[in-house]
Chains A and B, each alone.
Chain A
Amino acid sequence: MRHPASGLPPAPAGVSPGGSDSEASLYEVRQKIYPRAVHGWFARWRIALVLATQLIFYGLPWLVWNARPAVLFDLGARKFYVFGWVLWPQDFIFLTGLLVVSALSLFLFTAVAGRLFCGYACPQTVYTEIFMWIERMVEGDRMQRMRLDRGPANAVRLSRKALKHGLWIGIALWTGLTFVGYFTPIRTLLGEVASATLGPWETFWILFYSFATYGNAGWMREQVCKYMCPYARFQSAMFDRDTLIITYDAQRGEPRGSRSRSADRARLGVGDCVDCGICVQVCPTGIDIRKGLQYECIGCAACIDGCDQVMDKMGYARGLIRYSTLNAVAAKWDVRRMWRRVLRTRTLIYGALLLAITCVLLGALYLRTPLKVDVIRDRAMLARETRDGMIENVYRLQIMNTSERDRRFTITATPESGRAGLQVMAAQPVAVAGAHTASVAVAVRADPANLKPGTYTIRFHVEDADDPALKVDEKSRFYMR
């Protein structure tokens, strides 16, 4: 791992950085990075992914399903609505499973192709990309921005800055509102904003999330990746010599040096790198990829696009900076040989685990019965004798209808062993509205002629009166005296 400070941005003119490597203090003042706009294959991919992820993020809260938001984490009612599913706190295991699947996917992607997540899908990258796009629209590209920042604080500069921050804050506020829109229906939320009746907690979270967005994407940017992101630190555990990373082909590029387009490389004794510094200028974390893999590299491939443009201009082959593996570069493998190494023990293990857990999760979700029952014994008394000589135990049944249909349930009870009949005393059937819980007091009676004194395990059977396939058994204890 290289030291954090070694990735400092170069001097403004885009000269390759040098010299700043030596004394690296952990307390250095951050130098503002002015990434230059870049076009190309990877940039297009990044834009597509920014659009896709944001379309999902901003759009989901607006989707309607069964006359309610399609995705709503109703914390107030402790219910999560996800399209056709209603998840209860008891379904926490699914959330855990989802986290495990996400983590394993991250491991797999990282082992195959490095920090794909960072470069294309991480919210930090995505919002930084959006904020930088606004910055470019308002203040111009790299050189114009640097000139503006170095120039006098005149009306032009102030108005540009005000416009930029105004737009940033606008987007941040909309992002905050959307975030809270996952927890409170967004239409209700907008209505409350319009009529200034927003609750204090919602107001707080909108502002908190907006502030975080504005701060992270507008100000912190690459510092988040460099100093805050744990993933950046442990990614090396998933890397090996066959992981695709962004590499500079030093054998081909060195010795680097500027030359005219018509110059003969062989005669000058230079490699393909023209030392234009574009790869450094476009880098959002301000590193020089020619120094090898550095932990600041978020794998955004902006330097590949930048370098390919220069290679085209020079009439050289593309790919001086390219996605490649350490093995492939060292042994000069062709692309096919390199890709064959994608299938190796590490990726196969990650892949198999991922597939297995995903299947189990989907299976469990598919087979999940939309009915849950909790049985709580009345703690105040064990058993009592009724007027007609029967022995009675009292229970409270929590019947959770986790589907969105109103249902009616019947309750019966049987002892786990023995044939003695148990009588269930409750108003039946029990109606439970969709996505609601009913709490029912149930008395169970047994004839002392049939059952000797002692403790018995009994089973409650709760069954949908209209759909006998939907039933749940729940154990409890019955005391006979």
Chain B
Amino acid sequence: MKHAMWILWPSFLVGVVAEGVFFSMVDPTDLHLFGQPLELSRSAVYTLGFFLFWAFAAASSALTCWLQHGINGSESSDA
């Protein structure tokens, strides 16, 4: 449970920031996917974009958690 929080929450915050920065500079209607313009509404792109950012950030957090776990285990430190 706590691991889920440690992974999902920081990545959520980073996802929010990434979403804000990216879409304030890029208009979703300008985006192309494999050379084809995206045929999605702006709200759809915003939503999907947010979850994409969140997912990538979560993947990074998960890796960090996993790597750190190994270190704590071998040194039996108190984190």
Contact = CB atoms under 8 A, between A and B. Distances in A.
A250 B31 CA distance: 63
A201 B43 contact: yes
Interface in A205-240: 205, 223, 227-228, 230
Interface in B7-66: 9-10, 13, 20, 24-25, 27, 41-44, 46-47
A180 to B, nearest CB: 10
Given A75-B43, A201-B47, A227 B2 contact: yes
A26 interface: yes
Contact of B47 (A3, A95, A205, A223): A205
B67 interface: no
A76 B79 contact: no
B20 A228 contact: no
B42 A78 contact: yes
Given A27-B2, A75-B42, A76-B41, A228 B78 contact: no
B75 to A, nearest CB: 14
Interface residues of B, number: 19
A345 to B, nearest CB: 31
Contact of B2 (A24, A26, A89, A202): A26
A140 to B, nearest CB: 28
Contacts of A366: none
Interface residues of A, number: 20
Nearest to B78: A3
A202 B43 CA distance: 9
Given A78-B27, A89-B24, A89-B27, A204 B47 contact: yes
Given A3-B78, A75-B42, A205-B47, A228 B9 contact: yes
A76 B40 CA distance: 12
Given A89-B24, A201-B47, A204-B47, A228 B42 contact: no
Looking at B24, B44, B47, the one whose CB has the most chain A CB atoms below 10 A away is: B24
Nearest to A184: B43
A199 B41 CA distance: 11
Nearest to A204: B47
Nearest to A29: B1
A223 B10 contact: no
A78 B10 CA distance: 27
A78 B6 CA distance: 33
Given A26-B79, A76-B42, A230 B13 contact: yes
B41 A92 contact: no
Nearest 10 CB-CB pairings of A with B: A201-B43, A228-B9, A92-B24, A76-B42, A89-B24, A228-B5, A201-B47, A227-B5, A227-B2, A75-B46
Given A26-B2, A76-B41, A199-B43, 10 more contacts: A3-B78, A26-B79, A27-B2, A78-B27, A95-B24, A201-B41, A201-B43, A204-B47, A223-B5, A228-B6
7 contacts: A26-B79, A75-B43, A76-B42, A76-B43, A78-B42, A202-B43, A230-B10
